[in-house]
A and B are shown apart, each in its own frame.
Chain A
């Protein structure tokens, strides 16, 4: 593009200082004892995620996959304008409930994270935390062209352009924005993937954990959480 400034160089030197509440400090307890607190090490579990194997029996795994496919619980977390296209799915016209798709308000009970549109760096941080808190196996669907290649935010200073660098994506639904019909078709496609037992995004995430973390940390400069949010 012609307006690309060859002289502009991103500032890669400056480190973002750790937030005050995250810095190691000394605290005096009510009974006068002085203790050291390192919030990042003390408050959080530092464990890395591990790869969970499938069931030993193919029949059992097949049954489990069938149950997973027919009971998709979506995390009610809208990241961009695409969240507005999710709401009609609950209405009489589209009625996603008949396919076993429901919305859950907490990541602990959800299996499917729908990244519904552009992800700014600030939201990416929350999306990563929400994703990591979901129980295995978990699925990610990228919605709209913003998650695929940046879409209309291709030159934005604050929006990521390729979602699968940061989270393991099972399925993309193209469009800007995709209509609810496209979403339903996408969910049906996701069901087929799950039934085939190919939706192992969480295991992929655990296997390539270092690579994902490096990518995430390269854009999120104020990383003030544990590597894996349990």
Chain B
């Protein structure tokens, strides 16, 4: 695939659509949660208002260069993840910058934001940030293990590291999806998915009742606005990867919207049913259940 300047505009368009989709979707999920609880819930455009409010705040203080870069890295992680993965299969416009080895790059970008955030929040000097960072890194590392194993299994199965080719192999029928051709791998990767979505039971990193509120304790105004943008972008980008790898990808925006929402709801549903794990509990959980399933997946390919 050759590079053309128009790709940049296309990528920006993808980003724009995905951010707006994420804004609405996260608000919708909160709204559904509120309705289940018998409340009216937030307005569907509340995320936009919060974003505008945070940008409009007048005073900002800084704790140093890395403190600036923390949210930037985080957002870079989200944007990078999205841009190097084909969002819509078969579309020239929303193919983004996908290339032969993008699976490896995606694996890297999943972790990139967390690391950047760890450095930035560490510089803010707040003890709660430090606790949140150490918990977050420990938990994400444990949760990533099954994903890495699952990705190896997939690349073995399809003999490629190119996400586009993986999606292509899953087209045709619903039974061509990795979900059905290789269920063990899917299960292993879904362990990692619920583990990194920052929802209960794996959200002790941000627990407002315990360590208010973890790494972002010191972040405010425009820094927080950046992180909010990432909070809506990053889950969608991550879901896109899972959709491409295991659920047959999407061939148009409607399919994209439905599939992303459905996969996102997996973590939401698990979150509302199970209470929060402590860090050592969740690490033990991943090592005990996620890791063996991942190894089994590799062995059975």
Contact = CB atoms under 8 A, between A and B. Distances in A.
- Touch A–B, Cβ below 8 Å: yes
Interface of A: 49, 52, 63-64, 67-68, 70-71, 76, 91-92, 95, 97-98, 100, 104-106, 108-109, 111, 135-137, 202, 230
Nearest to B42: A97
B217 interface: yes
A64 B42 CA distance: 19
A63 B38 CA distance: 32
B40 interface: yes
Given A100-B42, A108-B217, A230 B34 contact: no
B52 A92 contact: no
Contacts of A71: 46, 49-50, 52-53
A135 B59 contact: yes
Interface of B: 34, 37-43, 46, 49-50, 52-53, 56-61, 128, 208-209, 212-213, 216-221, 224
A68 B56 contact: yes
Pick from B56, B128, B224 the residue with the most CB of A within 10 Å. B56
B38 A92 contact: yes
A105 B46 contact: no
Contacts of B217: 106, 108
Contact of A135 (B34, B46, B58): B58
Interface of B (DSSP majority class): loop
B53 A67 contact: yes
A97 B219 CA distance: 22
B124 to A, nearest CB: 9
B117 to A, nearest CB: 15
A56 B128 CA distance: 38
A92 B39 contact: yes
Contacts of A52: 58-59
Contacts of A98: 39-43
Given A97-B34, A100-B42, A70 B60 contact: no
B220 A135 contact: yes
A136 to B, nearest CB: 4
Contacts of A67: 49, 52-53, 56
Contacts of B224: 108-109
Nearest to B218: A108
A219 B43 CA distance: 43
A58 B209 CA distance: 40
B38 to A, nearest CB: 4
Contacts of B213: 104-106, 109
B52 A63 contact: yes
Nearest to A49: B59
Contacts of B58: 52, 135-137
A135 B42 contact: no
B219 A105 contact: no
Nearest to A71: B53
B122 to A, nearest CB: 16
Pick from A49, A64, A105 the residue with the most CB of B within 10 Å. A105
A156 to B, nearest CB: 30
A68 B58 CA distance: 11
Contacts of A135: 57-61, 220-221
A162 to B, nearest CB: 27
Contacts of B46: 70-71, 100
Nearest to B34: A97
B49 A100 contact: yes
27 contacts: A49-B59, A52-B58, A64-B52, A64-B56, A67-B53, A68-B53, A70-B46, A70-B53, A71-B46, A71-B50, A71-B53, A95-B34, A95-B40, A97-B34, A98-B40, A98-B41, A98-B43, A100-B49, A104-B213, A108-B218, A108-B224, A109-B216, A111-B53, A111-B57, A135-B220, A136-B58, A137-B57
Nearest to B210: A105
Contact of A97 (B41, B53, B59): B41
Contacts of A105: 208-209, 212-213
B56 A136 contact: no
A136 B57 contact: yes
B205 to A, nearest CB: 14
Contacts of A97: 34, 39-42
A136 B59 contact: yes
Given A68-B53, A97-B39, A97-B40, 16 more contacts: A63-B52, A91-B39, A97-B41, A97-B42, A98-B39, A98-B40, A98-B43, A100-B50, A104-B213, A108-B218, A109-B219, A111-B53, A135-B221, A136-B57, A136-B58, A136-B59
